[in-house]
Structure 1
Amino acid sequence: MRLAVVILNWNGEAFLRRFLPGVIACSTGEGAPEGCEATVVVADNGSTDGSVRWLEEAYVSVGNPWVRLLAFDKNYGFTGGYNRALAHESLVAFDAYLLLNSDVEVTPGWLEPLAALFEAEPTVGAAMPKLRAYDRREYFEYAGASGGFIDRLGYPFCRGRIFDTVEQDEGQYDTVRDVFWATGAALLVRAEAWRRAGGLEEAFFAHMEEIDLCWRLHRMGWHVAVVPQSVVYHVGGGALPASSPRKIYLNFRNNLAMLYRNLSLGHFAVIYFIRFWLDGCQAAAYLCTGRCAFAGAVVRGHRDFWCRMRRGLRRERWNGFALPSPRVMYRGSVALRYLFGRRRFGKMM
């Protein structure tokens, strides 16, 4: 299997200096899984720091055979950057791509369990490793933990993370299993599945795009899995910190866009009526705690979905109210369960 580990970078020179040498050592040459030819590709999204210069001096100019650099003219976002990178002529011959954030520390042998699953299970279109927090290494990391799920109102959660409650990793979620979505921080996807699904929806720019992609993969008959025997450590918020109203805005706007694209119009109308009030309560909570910028981000997310984004979205073909299997999609409300004290995945599903 020919595998490309593709790192999308935007002004992340510090992360590249810290983590790229480890990615190369643990993924290429002797660090690659047996029978797997792996290459590391850094796709630069129009960085204005010293990222490109450092990459050229450290790897490109010395002729490192395991590292390639693609430099874009501007920042196309997470979605546009990866779509352009994986469509590049130098990458079309690969069998699989591993989309990896620049702020991820990998571990020796991290690719072996993922590659083994792809070899053994040809119906698995995407998979992810277990994510732990870089600064609290015994805890799961928010962006994906040990596999992503979603409830029927569109709220995403993980094995090991419900909303802002993150569990300590004690091996309780170490089984390989199907999930609804795999994190974009470290996402292995078959080239065939990527092309058939059409890549990422560029209107999202960033956030929720991997959940939207995985939803399409499910509909096409692919499985999405988590392989906890592969472990990586994620800093999180490398390009956009959790304290940023911009992050809140993108999450709320793109969550609505994802539901609109993947549900029937009638189903979406029902869900949106409920979400309008729930998201309104969230905005009110932000106001009551003095986080006015966050409250405004929620309002702008709803407004811009309806006024700017919706008409340009490509809707997926979907018949009736059918939803993915209850094994990967929670049919209740994770928000209500959370409100009444069920804040661990083991008590949720």
Structure 2
Amino acid sequence: MPSLRLSGLTARDPAEQHRAATPLELLTDLCFVVAVAQAATQLHHFTTEGDLASGLIRYGMVFFAIWWTWLNFAWFASAYDDDGIAYRLLTLLQIVGSLVIAAGVPRMFEGDFTLVVVGYLIMRVGLVVQWLRAAAGDPDHRRTCLRYAVGIPVVQLLWLVFLTGDVGLVYFLVCVACELVVPVWAERPNQTRWHAHHIAERYGLFFIIVLGETILSVTLAIQESVDEHDLQRGLAYVVLGGVLIVFSLWWLYFAHGSGDALERARGTGTEYVWGFGHYAVFASAAAIGAALAARVDYWERELVHGHAVESGPSATLLCLSVAALLAASWVVKVRPDDPSAATAGRWGAAVGAVVVLVLVPAPEIWVGLVCVVLLFTELRGQARGADRGARSPA
């Protein structure tokens, strides 16, 4: 039974058998996706209004705040989750912070960072307390834990400048760089005892939830337009293309990589590429939902209202999002598992083809077909590799 003890947290065994995500972690993911959905909705609106560049910049900024706090929680929990009452309460405090961030997303897209910074601050307070508890209960990693407990609030002070409103993209990137430096610096004395298979599962579950948000955003966009008979052709393009894209990307993500690959990366520095590189995977996955919803808006204006609408913003967002997800998936999932030139060539060709498809009508269909072809070639390549392994002498 969980206990309300405020003493230190002891490190968990990184080789623990059958380690799986807890109900509290699943609840946390669900609440974080509320913020993801808000960010994707705003990106959808900016794209539909033709202001894609501004929308992408704001989306990238707010998604970093969401993803970075989720990442910090996930890796800390993998090393120190004791499921005690104090641990649960501090985690719930972080969830409250994620909901405040979600509430502030629309304002942030308009240039008001107040709620997002406040939510971020709430989450960081909860995490710093957790690191102090870990420092007290894990003497072998005390120095590492204290570095986190110092580095996190120092960087948080930099984010408070956003409350003045007089900041730009360059300052934001400086803050991001400082955030990324903290775990690299903190882990240098003695790396925390995270569980590779648990982390791989946590990332996989979050990817599934983000894809689910993508499906939901498209469903809602179609629901708003389904009564328009003249829109049926456009809706068919979006539905078919969206299904091909989402299902293929899900399959491709889980076709490569596992906790074993992450375990092999432990202590080599490449675990940071794996962990940090998923920003592009998650952000582009959610952006695909915004792009498909924007494609529904495009077809509605074109087919129903007869407006001569530029398809460029929605088509560009769709193609860039899918291309970014494929490229990031190759870096963090495929390459560590299969670094062959043939595999790199297949994925590179798919990325290039998706980017070029921004120029064709109804790109959602063609992008979906490219994803299906890539999936087919990957499965075929894996089957051939398995056959060669079975025929080789022991």
TM-score (norm 2): 0.31
**Bigger CA radius of gyration:** 2
Larger strand percent? 1
Q: TM-score, normalised by structure 1?
A: 0.33
